[in-house]
A and B are shown apart, each in its own frame.
Chain A
Amino acid sequence: MATTKDFIIEQIKKSIAAHETSSPAKNMGKVISVGDGIVKLSGLSNVAMSEMIEFKNKKGSVRGVVLNLEEDSVGAIILGDYFEIKEGDEATASGRILEVPVGEAMIGRVIDPLGEALDGKGTIEARTFYPIEKIAPGVIARQSVNQPVQTGIKAIDAMIPIGRGQRELIIGDRQIGKTAIAIDTIINQKGQNMKCVYVAIGQKESKIASIVARLKKHGAMDYTTIVLASASDPASLLYIAPYAGTALAEYFLDKGEDVLIIYDDLSKHAVAYREISLLLRRPPGREAYPGDVFYLHSRLLERACRLNKEHGGGSITALPIIETQAGDVSAYIPTNVISITDGQIYLEPDSFYKGNRPAINAGLSVSRVGSSAQVKAMKKVAGKMRLEAAQYRELAAFAQFGSDLDAETKAKLERGKRLSEILKQDQYSPLSVANQILIFYAVINGFVDDVAVEDVIQFEKGLHQYAETAGKETLRHIVTSEFNEELENKMKALLSDYKSTLQ
């Protein structure tokens, strides 16, 4: 017993001897005014922009971030509950730029932008901290996109391919499947060596709860982190959420891993920033957004990158989401983000209500860099398919005026109808790239022409089932080997065999 006591005393003595008292000099400020999550402080003469400050009161401490440096006052946002802060309270400068905990422990968790657990699974132990604001990698560290992100969505992987390190915007009105695309993409990353971060900005907590449940069901939470700043959180948390998510992504990037990050959505982020800016009395500009709202998003999305081998070779693929009002893509924030990103997936309400889901408008959607990362076979097949789809759209508009059409036009229209059936896809059912190539090959080579339009979906389902059993070898060849005559013959044989089973 005595030895245990001695041991403990010895340990305490040791740690007291090793203990160094913190530097006694501290930069302090006093709260002049507080309201709506914004504080104005006097003092704090040595504080830096984006520096963390701490308000201490009887109930504990609250953190804040300096955003305005004026002649004789400092403006800051409060990250958390601001009702406890009163005029005359003291604030201490921390000497550090705002940083958040990162690490492997975050995977599979739902966290707030400051790294605190929100899923009730206990506190997260993280010893590494990353600053939320960081200058994006430069030209020397980068390389061009050369590896695909398989979303599992036929229309995207074929026509608007996304590469690892790309920034692809998902844009459209409310309730037409923007989040669905993002979630399907996360689900399809299973086994693709990709970490996912889903940043929810200003979303309903019920929606996030159902997303988490869905991801869990598909086993996607094993590689996903959800950063949540919900609709009821203060604007300051909504403002830092995407930067905090990116800091977490950068942790994995620095380890040479590939990361997919989704910002859902940046319209609400801009609105939160507008609120903060107006409360800080910064001058309003167009649509009352402050002058630096472009920089707000450009500095965020510039952090998406594909690093070269010398710099670890990791990547951050960003899928920002923008919600438009009544299809107005020429509003301020949508045009800003369209110009920042490397392409956009445009979702159309008309198409959605006609039953074409995902409601992707193939004409307005583009991917500026992704095609260089596409699988060779997909590139071959998709090129021809995109042409057929474009011709069909043109002819379909034209054919509405008259019924007297020549045989060739009729054939094109019929094939186009089947193609748009093929592009329809249910939610939460991503398709592997080999299966996608097989069905597209079938369409453009006329294997589906004699199937009735309403039976196309059934035909496709049957084909995938058949290929899983009888065509396993061919499916493996599609992704691994060159797209040559031999492979084409195999695919043709597989398709003919399948069709013979239907009769």
Chain B
Amino acid sequence: MRITPKLYATGLLQALHNKQGAEIAPIIDAFVALLAKNNDTAKADKVIAAFSALWNKEHKIITSEITTAKKLGNDTRDSLEAFLLKQSGARAVEIQEKIDGDVLGGMVIRYEDTVLDYSVKTKISDLISAIKQ
């Protein structure tokens, strides 16, 4: 049977369930040995990506990308984190910041498959098309 990266990741996640510190290393070793035995080491990258997604889902962690024109201040960052936790119902959020002058002002927040576009660029282009009509 062909084992998909998702299946590998699910198996690993279940094996690691409730394991602490020193217990983890032998499980990882055994898992890598299994990959090698099945001749599936080439799938390692995909397995890692799938594992990370599953782990985040299990522990209700979301990743978010925030695009702004200028660097965020700490206060803004904290309040954004609180906003995202409330909005998404997650327990933790990993924020990646991106600076892009094209947004002009405001910000574009992405988490999972939702995009919240509060950028000045979009507002202006909406306004332009509204005036054109």
| Residues of chain A having any CB pair with chain B under 8 Å | 12, 15-16, 19, 21-22, 24-29, 42-46, 92
In the assembled complex, the Cα of A29 lies from the Cα of B110 at a distance in Å of 11
Q: Is the CB of B114 within 8 A of A15?
A: no
Interchain Cβ contacts under 8 Å between A and B, 21 examples: A12-B131, A15-B130, A16-B127, A19-B130, A21-B123, A21-B126, A24-B116, A24-B117, A25-B115, A25-B116, A26-B114, A26-B115, A26-B117, A27-B113, A28-B110, A28-B113, A43-B112, A43-B113, A45-B112, A45-B113, A92-B115
Given contacts A12-B131, A15-B131, contact A27 B114 (CB under 8 A): yes
Please name all residues of chain B whose beta carbon is closer than 8 Å to the beta carbon of A43 when the two chains form the complex: 112-113
B83 contacts A by Cβ under 8 Å: no
Residues of B within 8 Å of A, CB-based: how many? 13
Expressed in whole angstroms, the minimum distance between the Cβ of B22 and any Cβ of chain A is 34
Q: Render B91-105 as a binary contact track against A, CB cut-off 8 A, 1 for contact.
A: 000000000000000
In the assembled complex, the Cα of A25 lies from the Cα of B117 at a distance in Å of 7
Please name all residues of chain B whose beta carbon is closer than 8 Å to the beta carbon of A28 when the two chains form the complex: 110, 113-115
B118 contacts A by Cβ under 8 Å: yes
Q: Is the CB of A19 within 8 A of B115?
A: no
In the assembled complex, the Cα of A21 lies from the Cα of B126 at a distance in Å of 7
Please name all residues of chain B whose beta carbon is closer than 8 Å to the beta carbon of A25 when the two chains form the complex: 114-116
In the assembled complex, the Cα of A27 lies from the Cα of B113 at a distance in Å of 6
| Extra contacts besides A42-B113, A43-B112, A45-B113 (12): CB < 8 Å | A12-B131, A16-B127, A19-B126, A19-B127, A24-B118, A25-B114, A25-B116, A27-B113, A27-B114, A28-B114, A28-B115, A92-B115
Among B115, B116, B127, B131, the one with the most A-chain Cβ atoms within 10 Å of its Cβ is B115
In the assembled complex, the Cα of A219 lies from the Cα of B116 at a distance in Å of 54
Expressed in whole angstroms, the minimum distance between the Cβ of A247 and any Cβ of chain B is 24
Question: Interface SS of chain B: helix, strand, loop or mixed?
Answer: mixed
Closest to A18 in B: B130
Please name all residues of chain A whose beta carbon is closer than 8 Å to the beta carbon of B113 when the two chains form the complex: 27-29, 42-46
Question: Interface SS of chain A: helix, strand, loop or mixed?
Answer: mixed
Closest to B127 in A: A19
Please name all residues of chain A whose beta carbon is closer than 8 Å to the beta carbon of B131 when the two chains form the complex: 12, 15-16
Please name all residues of chain B whose beta carbon is closer than 8 Å to the beta carbon of A45 when the two chains form the complex: 112-113
Please name all residues of chain A whose beta carbon is closer than 8 Å to the beta carbon of B118 when the two chains form the complex: 24
Please name all residues of chain A whose beta carbon is closer than 8 Å to the beta carbon of B126 when the two chains form the complex: 19, 21-22
Please name all residues of chain A whose beta carbon is closer than 8 Å to the beta carbon of B112 when the two chains form the complex: 43, 45
Closest to B119 in A: A24
Expressed in whole angstroms, the minimum distance between the Cβ of A485 and any Cβ of chain B is 68
Expressed in whole angstroms, the minimum distance between the Cβ of B65 and any Cβ of chain A is 12
Please name all residues of chain A whose beta carbon is closer than 8 Å to the beta carbon of B127 when the two chains form the complex: 16, 19
Please name all residues of chain B whose beta carbon is closer than 8 Å to the beta carbon of A16 when the two chains form the complex: 127, 131
In the assembled complex, the Cα of A27 lies from the Cα of B111 at a distance in Å of 10
In the assembled complex, the Cα of A15 lies from the Cα of B126 at a distance in Å of 12
Expressed in whole angstroms, the minimum distance between the Cβ of A94 and any Cβ of chain B is 14
Expressed in whole angstroms, the minimum distance between the Cβ of B47 and any Cβ of chain A is 16
Give the top 8 A-B pairs by smallest Cβ distance, nearest first: A43-B113, A26-B115, A24-B117, A24-B116, A28-B115, A19-B130, A28-B113, A45-B113
Closest to A45 in B: B113
Closest to B131 in A: A15
Closest to A26 in B: B115
Expressed in whole angstroms, the minimum distance between the Cβ of A47 and any Cβ of chain B is 9
In the assembled complex, the Cα of A19 lies from the Cα of B129 at a distance in Å of 11
In the assembled complex, the Cα of A45 lies from the Cα of B88 at a distance in Å of 13
In the assembled complex, the Cα of A19 lies from the Cα of B126 at a distance in Å of 9
Expressed in whole angstroms, the minimum distance between the Cβ of A22 and any Cβ of chain B is 6
In the assembled complex, the Cα of A317 lies from the Cα of B117 at a distance in Å of 47
In the assembled complex, the Cα of A26 lies from the Cα of B114 at a distance in Å of 6
In the assembled complex, the Cα of A25 lies from the Cα of B110 at a distance in Å of 9
Please name all residues of chain B whose beta carbon is closer than 8 Å to the beta carbon of A27 when the two chains form the complex: 113-114
Expressed in whole angstroms, the minimum distance between the Cβ of A3 and any Cβ of chain B is 20
Please name all residues of chain A whose beta carbon is closer than 8 Å to the beta carbon of B117 when the two chains form the complex: 24, 26
Q: Render B64-105 as a binary contact track against A, CB cut-off 8 A, 1 for contact.
A: 000000000000000000000000000000000000000000
Please name all residues of chain B whose beta carbon is closer than 8 Å to the beta carbon of A92 when the two chains form the complex: 115
Please name all residues of chain B whose beta carbon is closer than 8 Å to the beta carbon of A44 when the two chains form the complex: 113
Among A19, A24, A45, A46, the one with the most B-chain Cβ atoms within 10 Å of its Cβ is A24
Expressed in whole angstroms, the minimum distance between the Cβ of A327 and any Cβ of chain B is 47
Expressed in whole angstroms, the minimum distance between the Cβ of B38 and any Cβ of chain A is 23
In the assembled complex, the Cα of A359 lies from the Cα of B126 at a distance in Å of 59
Please name all residues of chain B whose beta carbon is closer than 8 Å to the beta carbon of A21 when the two chains form the complex: 123, 126
Expressed in whole angstroms, the minimum distance between the Cβ of B130 and any Cβ of chain A is 5
In the assembled complex, the Cα of A27 lies from the Cα of B117 at a distance in Å of 11
Closest to A44 in B: B113
In the assembled complex, the Cα of A19 lies from the Cα of B130 at a distance in Å of 7
Please name all residues of chain B whose beta carbon is closer than 8 Å to the beta carbon of A29 when the two chains form the complex: 113
Please name all residues of chain A whose beta carbon is closer than 8 Å to the beta carbon of B123 when the two chains form the complex: 21
Closest to A92 in B: B115
In the assembled complex, the Cα of A394 lies from the Cα of B110 at a distance in Å of 77
Closest to B113 in A: A43
Please name all residues of chain B whose beta carbon is closer than 8 Å to the beta carbon of A24 when the two chains form the complex: 116-118
Please name all residues of chain A whose beta carbon is closer than 8 Å to the beta carbon of B116 when the two chains form the complex: 24-26
In the assembled complex, the Cα of A28 lies from the Cα of B113 at a distance in Å of 5
In the assembled complex, the Cα of A22 lies from the Cα of B117 at a distance in Å of 10
